[in-house]
Structure 1
Amino acid sequence: MPKANAFYAQSGGVTPVINASAAGVIETAALHKQQIGKVYAGRNGILGALTEDLIDTSKEPRRNIRELINTPSGAFGSCRYKLRSIEENRAEYERLIEVFKAHNIRYFFYNGGGDSADTCLKVSQLSKKLGYPLQAIHVPKTIDNDLPVTDNSPGFGSVAKYVAISTREAALDVASMCSTSTKVFILEVMGRHAGWIAGASGLAAEKSGDAPHIILFPEVPFEQARFIDKVRKTVEKRGHCVIVASEGAQYADGAFLSDSGITDAFGHAQLGGVAPMLANLVQSELGYKNHWAVADYLQRAARHIASKTDVEQAYAVGKAAVEMAIAGKNAVMPVIQRKSGKTYRWSVGEAPLERIANREKAMPKRFISSDGFNITAAARRYFAPLIQGEAYPTYSGGMPRYVTLKCVPVPKKLKTRFDP
């Protein structure tokens, strides 16, 4: 009987280090040739499985797989596609199993956030119902850092580093010109319901009074009067004011400051635009000249200044996922465990997907200052180790050298087609 194959796919918004997890999965699987035949990747995430659009990773040179560690984006393509419940659309799940059977896939590695953990759990549950042996392991990633159980999420450390550096550099720029030019600068960062990324910008401050002067968290209800008063007092005292705002900043009733009225494929409100909204507010209420910027895709693609800690952790969870599957584990996720002590140390543990799927971890109150506009010393102790170390890619001609895979398709075996 031929050896069982594995399926790996990337889901949701990418990170600077998601490809390091891919390398961890593929390279570790190659070390277990007695148990795992080939690793097939889904082109554009779970859609690749539904449409039988598979990529044979064994056709890639080993050096290309190794170079994934230094390459941003999703090397095999990602997607925002959430499987509905089995009761709502059983056909989707049966199609997955049909494709897996056709290609002798018995290992399922899904690299994503909370919604992806839910998909992974559902696939595991259905495979049992249909009597098809399939080990489903979720590989964590999300720049939002909102996955529960795990100390932090691979991808977050590098984004935290990018945002903290960008905040410090922009603050120096504003401070140098504030006497005759811009007095308020606003940086919008990602974070729908959790303010981890915005909070990490607080690492830019070396001493009291340094930027960022105001951080807006989803966890702290926005009060316009308090915000305007804080901006005014900061400018009067410092000459300028630097603000970092989470895209998920919201009012006391839960309404987002920047809700566009559109929802994405996961049913989440489409956000974006809190920075210009705040800029207009500052202009109308205080008349200060201001500038704003949106980190947007730049923050999650900035592999050139990735955190070495983050790169190592991203690879480690991919490696651990394969080892868990080989050990017979199912419906679990590798988690990062922070060890106690003054020196930062970590290890990889595991948690059942029931504790992770469709759950979000918000910033704890002890990480947010009493006035709600900044982070505490406890938050700094949490954030600081996650941005440590540099893992620069190789440069050529002054530019980072990133790999582009050949992505050789696997011949289709099914006669039927599936249109998601």
Structure 2
Amino acid sequence: MNRGRLLYAQSGGVTAVINATAGAVIETARKHKVEVLAARNGILGALREELINTSKESRAAVAALRHTPGGAFGSCRYKLKAPEQDRAPYERLIDVFRAHDIRWFLYNGGNDSADTAHKLSKIAAEFDYPLACIGVPKTVDNDLAITDCCPGFGSAAKYTAVSVREAALDVAAMADTSTKVFVYEVMGRHAGWLAAAAGMAGAGTDDAPQLILFPERTFDEAAFLERVKATVARVGWCVVVASEGIHYADGRFVAEAGGTDSFGHSQLGGVAPHLAARVKDVLGFKVHWTVPDYLQRSARHLASATDLAHAQAVGKAAVEYALAGHNAVMPVIVRSSDAPYRWKIAPAPLAKIANTEKTLPKTFLRRDGYGITDTARRYLAPLMRGEAPPPYGTGGLPKYVALKNAAVAKKLPDWRR
């Protein structure tokens, strides 16, 4: 039996398939007879010594994580400062790891999580503590460097494209006497991957969404309103998909609400209602809008089968890398072919991933700036392919699992900051 325990934690906004990754981590570790602890609410749980003993969970419960959305152990938005600015949290983490004989740490998240795992691997080396730190990819924004895509994105992309297509049928049916313009807001602060995914809802120029607003392009309100007006005149109605992060030429977000979140990012206040108000006030059209928000990342009922496979594969590989002695790496997805779609998992250094944001390639953006190219479609299509519905109960609702999340006894004084 391997000596030591493995600690798994979830970070940032959860996805429809992050629990599938968690399940793969636990199942793979069990095959190697390694005990898995989970941090309650991400890195905060590790700091607070709030650890969960996953060995108390049945095999069936762990398997059910495959189809259960949310974050089974709780997640958090909490960014550790650099060790030279605040060393105490890192020292506390090493103390917790020593107390519970944790030799492998898997942090399932995005850019900031990769950064945390990378820094922690360096601190452990300074303390001469044997710890392997593995970043596990997850984000609906699809903005991690090196990996071809991020687990969580494919399902959010599928949900977005399906929702836009279905809503467009509604708008088209009502346009003669009611709504002429529909504005759909998607997540994406600096990277327009979900906005691009919305483009998969239609194929022709006049198919919805007729206009997509990307954060990679400067927003010009006058030009936008003119395009809306022309589209309604030509088609009879118009569906607009807007990334939450669209900005003006001076860099200001169109929907900046003031204040920042725990990662230091500007809070965005809702670009869809803003654009809808401008269309109504300037053009006089009846407008409806929506901000799906959490629905984009929690819609497990519409998950992509490809995305689910990715999520499970990175969880399995993360454990195998850790037990094989890898450190400060992330299992990433490497694409070798679009059609047929072929991919594999490979290790990549966290130093090249942490805090590096991958935006849409210029080749994915249509020349007029309001749509996607065939190159983008070839990239997106396989990520959204396949269905992986959850089991349904007699009441017509999905059957999800709630874990016991039995706490591990604390051994250290409470963490206070």
- Structure-1-length-normalised TM-score: 0.98
Which residue pairs with 1:7 in the alignment?
A: 7
Which residue pairs with 2:21 in the alignment?
A: 21
Amino acid at match of 1:398: G
CA contact 2:160–2:198 (8 Å) conserved in 1: yes
How many Å separate the matches in 2 of 1:215 and 1:128? Answer: 47
SS at 1:370's partner residue?
coil
CA contact 2:40–2:73 (8 Å) conserved in 1: yes
How many Å separate the matches in 1 of 2:350 and 2:291? Answer: 33
Instruction: Choose from 64, 70, 73 the match for 1:73.
Output: 70
1:158 maps onto 2:147 in alignment = no
How many Å separate the matches in 2 of 1:132 and 1:251? Answer: 48
SS at 1:309's partner residue?
helix
What residue ranges of structure 1 are gaps of 5+ in the alignment?
Answer: none
SS at 1:161's partner residue?
helix
Task: Please give the per-residue CA displacement for 1:251-271, whole angstroms capped at 9, x wherever unaligned.
Answer: 122111011111111101111
Compared CA separation, residues 200 and 341, structure 1 to 2 (3 A): closer
> 1:412 offset after TM fit, Å?
0.7
Instruction: Choose from 269, 277, 281 the match for 1:280.
Output: 277
Which residue pairs with 1:398 in the alignment?
A: 396
SS at 1:399's partner residue?
coil
SS at 2:416's partner residue?
coil
Which residue pairs with 2:93 in the alignment?
A: 96
> 1:295 offset after TM fit, Å?
1.1
Amino acid at match of 1:411: A
> 1:308 offset after TM fit, Å?
0.4
How many Å separate the matches in 2 of 1:74 and 1:253? Answer: 37
> 1:208 offset after TM fit, Å?
3.2
Task: Please give the per-residue CA displacement for 1:327-349, whole angstroms capped at 9, x wherever unaligned.
Answer: 11000000001113520011101
Which residue pairs with 1:291 in the alignment?
A: 288
Amino acid at match of 1:115: D
How many Å separate the matches in 2 of 1:251 and 1:6? Answer: 46
SS at 2:81's partner residue?
coil
1:230 maps onto 2:262 in alignment = no
> 1:3 offset after TM fit, Å?
1.9
What are the within-5 Å matches in structure 2 for residues 171-186 of structure 1?
A: 171-186=168-183
Which residue pairs with 1:382 in the alignment?
A: 379
CA contact 2:338–2:379 (8 Å) conserved in 1: no
How many Å separate the matches in 2 of 1:268 and 1:223? Answer: 23
- Structure-2-length-normalised TM-score: 0.99
How many Å separate the matches in 1 of 2:269 and 2:149? Answer: 24
What are the within-5 Å matches in structure 2 for residues 252-267 of structure 1?
A: 252-267=249-264
> 1:15 offset after TM fit, Å?
0.4
How many Å separate the matches in 2 of 1:32 and 1:57? Answer: 15
Instruction: Choose from 388, 409, 412 the match for 1:411.
Output: 409
Sequence identity, in percent? 61
What are the within-5 Å matches in structure 2 for residues 74-153 of structure 1?
A: 74-153=71-150
How many Å separate the matches in 1 of 2:265 and 2:136? Answer: 22
SS at 2:260's partner residue?
coil
SS at 2:97's partner residue?
helix
> 1:206 offset after TM fit, Å?
3.4
What are the within-5 Å matches in structure 2 for residues 326-365 of structure 1?
A: 326-340=323-337, 342-365=339-362
CA contact 2:338–2:378 (8 Å) conserved in 1: no
Which residue pairs with 1:32 in the alignment?
A: 32
Task: Please give the per-residue CA displacement for 1:171-218, whole angstroms capped at 9, x wherever unaligned.
Answer: 000000000000000000100000000110000003331000000100
Compared CA separation, residues 229 and 69, structure 1 to 2 (3 A): same
How many Å separate the matches in 2 of 1:24 and 1:66? Answer: 8
1:321 maps onto 2:318 in alignment = yes
Amino acid at match of 1:201: A
How many Å separate the matches in 1 of 2:250 and 2:324? Answer: 47
1:57 maps onto 2:54 in alignment = yes
> 1:285 offset after TM fit, Å?
1.1
SS at 1:315's partner residue?
helix
Amino acid at match of 1:244: V
SS at 2:206's partner residue?
coil
How many Å separate the matches in 2 of 1:223 and 1:174? Answer: 25
1:308 maps onto 2:305 in alignment = yes
How many Å separate the matches in 2 of 1:304 and 1:419? Answer: 40
Task: Please give the per-residue CA displacement for 1:150-186, whole angstroms capped at 9, x wherever unaligned.
Answer: 0000000000000000000000000000000000000
> 1:146 offset after TM fit, Å?
0.2
> 1:110 offset after TM fit, Å?
0.2
1:190 maps onto 2:190 in alignment = no
Poorly superposed stretches of 4+, deviation over 4 Å:
none
How many Å separate the matches in 1 of 2:291 and 2:183? Answer: 8
How many Å separate the matches in 2 of 1:181 and 1:413? Answer: 64
Amino acid at match of 2:103: R
SS at 1:41's partner residue?
strand
How many Å separate the matches in 1 of 2:330 and 2:3? Answer: 24
> 1:225 offset after TM fit, Å?
1.1
> 1:2 offset after TM fit, Å?
7.8
Task: Please give the per-residue CA displacement for 1:1-42, whole angstroms capped at 9, x wherever unaligned.
Answer: 982101000000000000011011110001111xx3x10000
How many Å separate the matches in 2 of 1:375 and 1:207? Answer: 11
SS at 2:52's partner residue?
strand
Amino acid at match of 2:396: G
